[in-house]
């Protein structure tokens, strides 16, 4: 991914500390970051921050986003309700690679209570460095996009 393209990042309170570490790490590598919150460890609803990040990616304001909550489960459920969002909850390198190569994931979801800093950094870097293979995988993604309709949060 081009470092000039900004990445939007958001978390709930359970993953606030890991979000801050990832944000600082990415800024140190020259990436542009938009922080959608939360901005402390005070208890908040993950839904609010999942909607912020997924909404911005869905509308095309950001090509990529990162979401974090305690396990990553809640954020992935919220994000994948938005059109044109392919959020991937990952905790290993192979899954991160496949989320990009085969699924063109545009939101990486991480569990703040699941991952250590070093692994999280490796997952994010792999996700940013891995391209989409296209071909038959593009057809599958287009099929998913074509079926998005009723029940999804509009763009």
Catalytic residues: 69, 102
Structure-block tokens of residue 40:
């402390």
E strand spans, 84-146: 87-89, 107-111
> Is the CB of residue 54 less than 8 Å from the CB of residue 82?
yes
Interior CA angle at 32 toward 141 and 115, to 5°? 70
- Of 121, 11, 117, 129, the closest CA to residue 72 belongs to 11
Find, among 77, 17, 12, the residue nearest to 45 by Cα.
Answer: 12
The CB density around residue 15, as the number of other CB atoms within 10 Å, is: 30
């Amino acid at each position: 991914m081009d470092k000039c393209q900004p990445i939007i990042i958001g978390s709930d309170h359970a993953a606030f500390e890991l979000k801050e570490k990832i944000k600082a790490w990415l800024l140190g590598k020259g990436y542009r970051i938009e922080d959608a919150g939360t901005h402390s460890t005070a208890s908040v609803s993950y839904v609010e921050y999942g909607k912020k990040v997924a909404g911005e990616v869905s509308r095309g304001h950001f090509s990529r986003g990162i979401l974090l909550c305690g396990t990553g489960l809640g954020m992935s459920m919220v994000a994948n309700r938005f059109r044109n969002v392919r959020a991937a909850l990952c905790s290993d390198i192979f899954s991160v690679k496949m989320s990009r190569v085969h699924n063109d994931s545009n939101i990486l979801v991480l569990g703040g209570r699941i991952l250590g800093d070093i692994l999280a950094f490796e997952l994010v870097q792999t996700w940013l460095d891995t391209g989409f293979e296209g071909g038959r995988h593009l057809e599958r993604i287009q099929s998913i996009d074509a079926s998005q309709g009723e029940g999804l949060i509009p763009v």
